[in-house]
Amino acid sequence: MGKASRDKRDIYYRKAKEEGWRARSAFKLLQIDEAFNIFQGVKRVVDSHCPSSHDSDFLCLASLSTYRQLYLPAKSSAESKEGDVPLIVAIDLQPMSPIEGVIQVQGDITNARTAQLVIRHFDGSKADLVVCDGAPDVTGLHDMDEFVQSQLILAGLTIVTHVLREGGKFIAKIFRGKDTSLLYSQLKLFFPTVTFAKPKSSRNSSI
């Protein structure tokens, strides 16, 4: 990792601590929302983590805590009441530390029973937003890491196709590389619009 990347990481790390965020990844969500308005009208959220994601507990809690703090009634749809916050369900294979206001489901996102549990928590409705921020342990061999990450995203689509409403939003972490165009084509089978974006708070070494 180069000095510029370390400096950027440290800046956002310190800023997260100063502003009371659970992790520096908060700024990624802030910047994605600023660019794409991902929280607009969202009432039901699923934070899912792919099989083999060892960082899932940390990432899940960071993103969910951030989401609850960022959500403003002004961003919600017209029929939302003052003070409304979205219903959030977190899914992970491993036990998760509790977080206020978040329903936790321990299960495999590729299992239909897990999807049924999520929908049950939404009283039969489907999610407006699904976030998949899991990642595998990197090997340092970028082509291999990119391939494994793309397979995790495709595994994540298993839960997405069951719990995301038509017109809903799906956000996932990717590793860009020579097969990114293939992943784009695969995602286009499920979504009319697919956009790749790199938040400013990402490391310079991230591609």
Q: Which two tokens stand for residue 52?
A: 């083999």
| Annotated catalytic residue within 28, 173, 178, 198 | 173
Task: Give the C-alpha separation, 9 to 134, whole Å.
Answer: 19
Task: Give the C-alpha separation, 107 to 117, whole Å.
Answer: 9
Which residue type is seen at 72?
A: L
- Strands (DSSP E) contained in the chain are 44-48, 87-92, 102-106, 127-132, 164-172
Task: Give the C-alpha separation, 50 to 64, whole Å.
Answer: 16
CB 60 within 8 A of CB 90: yes
Helix, strand or coil, per DSSP, at residue 150:
helix
Q: At 55, give phi and psi (nearest 5°).
A: -95, 5
Query: Catalytic: 173?
Result: yes
Which residue type is seen at 167?
A: G
Q: At 147, give phi and psi (nearest 5°).
A: -65, -45
List the strands of the sheet with 102-106, edge to edge.
Answer: 102-106, 87-92, 44-48, 127-132, 164-172
Q: Which amino acids are annotated catalytic?
A: 173
